[in-house]
Amino acid sequence: GYAGGTPAVGYDLFQGPMVPSAGDTAIMYGEIQIGYKNLSMSSFSKYINTSDPNWSDPNDAVEVYNLMQGLKKDGTPAINTETGEETKFFYADDPSLNTGVGDGIWADSDDHASGDRRFLMNTGPFTMAAGDSQEVVYAILHAADGGPLQSVTKLKQIDEFAQIAYDIQFQLPTPPPIPQVSSTSLLEEIVLTWDN
């Protein structure tokens, strides 16, 4: 059993690699960089521990590179089976809204039975010369709030706050001072008083 309900886990790219971009600002190693930008995710793809030729683990560098581009491992476009449109982001819809095939919400369960999943969070393109460095920051978050879908909703809320905290470099407001509380015991009651 899980305390607080079935948990959900998620990954978030807080800060992608930095590339030149006139008029933008980026962050690298905690420093603001003028004339650069941090790249966001360019694709999110999945594969499954299965014998299915379309969705099994990649076998070589070409298949991995195809997945990194948001394609299927054979290089063909990924298709959102709810809309029929090409996408580079597998299952970008909110699974909490999923009711089944044909509901307009593309969820993993629309295409495959439960099972072992692997995924790639991708960003790019960018070029690195020998000796260059980049900083990429991601987070692994988890939340539990009742059933699995409620936990996903809670996870998304937590992730929003975590991303904001990261974006402002953790310059969060200071908490209010701890109140000085004293108590007095009376017959059938306790009186609490505090000083500001």
pLDDT tens digits in sequence order for the chain, 196 residues long: 666 678 889 999 999 999 999 999 999 998 999 999 999 999 999 888 877 777 889 999 999 999 999 999 999 999 999 999 999 999 888 888 888 888 988 888 888 887 788 889 999 999 999 999 999 999 999 998 888 888 888 999 999 999 999 988 888 888 888 888 888 888 888 888 887 6
Distance CA 95, CA 18 (A): 31
- Here the tokens at position 38 are 């941090």
DSSP string, 88-123: SBTT-S-GGG--STTSS---HHHHS-S--EEEEEEE
Model confidence, pTM: 0.77
